[in-house]
Amino acid sequence: MPLTVRPIAAHDLDEIRAELDTHWHSNEIWSLGRCHQADALPGFIAEIDGAFAGLVTINLDPGAWQCEVITLSSRSPQHGVGGALLAAAEEFARAHDCGRIYLTTTNDNTHAIRFYQRRGWQFAALHKGIVDRVRKVIPEIPLLGFDGIQVRDEIEFERWLA
Ligand SMILES: CC(C)(COP(=O)(O)OP(=O)(O)OC[C@H]1O[C@@H](n2cnc3c(N)ncnc32)[C@H](O)[C@@H]1OP(=O)(O)O)[C@@H](O)C(=O)NCCC(=O)NCCS
């Protein structure tokens, strides 16, 4: 099963929106109190045998000294898709001369917390209660996440690239 990763192209928009909707029920992704229009971001698509298998979207911070992974998702778990997309995001950061790449995941996502650490990413910060605060403005943000855990906090992971 050949796995390939390529940059997002204009013709991917429908597939991207469907993928974001599957995992986040929206194209607007909140992270660290900021809202990102994820279907307009750069990133990469993974394909297995030419079929869509996963997506990573990335935001370059102002000044481009660091960038943030806004979404990472796999439609084909346990086939190396997530790892390949995360590696592509790191390569994107290096290509843009970023010293740091970071992301957040919510406190309920124990699988992702394990996944990032397995790939050498480190805890950078705990943003305690930030999801609760954003939910006051966007009540559609679900209260319960994976395993019925209340979604309240964002955990920030980072990787220094220098
Ligand atoms: C987190 C997520 C992106 C991981 O994607 P994935 O495609 O399953 O990731 P990988 O296949 O690269 O790695 C998963 C495991 O499969 C294993 N694996 C990789 N290729 C494999 C293969 N060919 N055969 C068997 N196992 C394999 C990996 O070793 C890894 O295990 P490890 O973490 O113990 O090392 C995915 O679970 C997902 O989409 N979650 C929902 C969205 C989400 O929560 N995103 C993160 C929040 S920001």
Report DSSP letters for 5-67, one per residue: EEE--GGGHHHHHHHHHHHHSSSEEEETTEEEEGGGS-EEEEEETTEEEEEEEEEEPTTSSEE
**Is residue 162 very low, low, confident or very high in pLDDT (cuts 50, 70, 90)?**
confident
How far from 73 is each of 14, 17, 23, 76, 95, CA to CA, in Å? Answer: 16, 12, 8, 9, 22
Indicate the average pLDDT of the chain. 97
Give the distance (Å) from ligand 1 centre to CA of residue 22: 17
Q: Please count the structural domains in the chain.
A: 1
Q: What is the pLDDT of residues 36-54, one digit of tens each?
A: 999 999 999 999 999 999 9
Q: What is the pLDDT of residues 142-157, one digit of tens each?
A: 999 999 999 999 999 9
Quote the tokens at residue 50: 């030419």
Point out the ligand 1 atom lying closest to the alpha carbon of residue 77. Answer: 8
Q: Is the pLDDT of residue 1 over 70?
A: no
Average pLDDT over residues 62-76: 96
Cα(51)–Cα(54) distance, integer angstroms: 9
Q: What is the pLDDT of residues 82-116, one digit of tens each?
A: 999 999 999 999 999 999 999 999 999 999 999 99
Cα(66)–Cα(8) distance, integer angstroms: 20
Give the distance (Å) from ligand 1 centre to CA of residue 159: 18
Ligand 1 close to Cβ of residue 81 (< 6 A):
yes
Cα(114)–Cα(32) distance, integer angstroms: 20
- Indicate which CATH number applies to the domain containing 77: 3.40.630.30
**Is residue 64 very low, low, confident or very high in pLDDT (cuts 50, 70, 90)?**
confident
- In angstroms, what is the C-alpha Rg of the chain? 15
Q: Which domain holds residue 67?
A: 3-160
Ligand 1 close to Cβ of residue 117 (< 6 A):
no
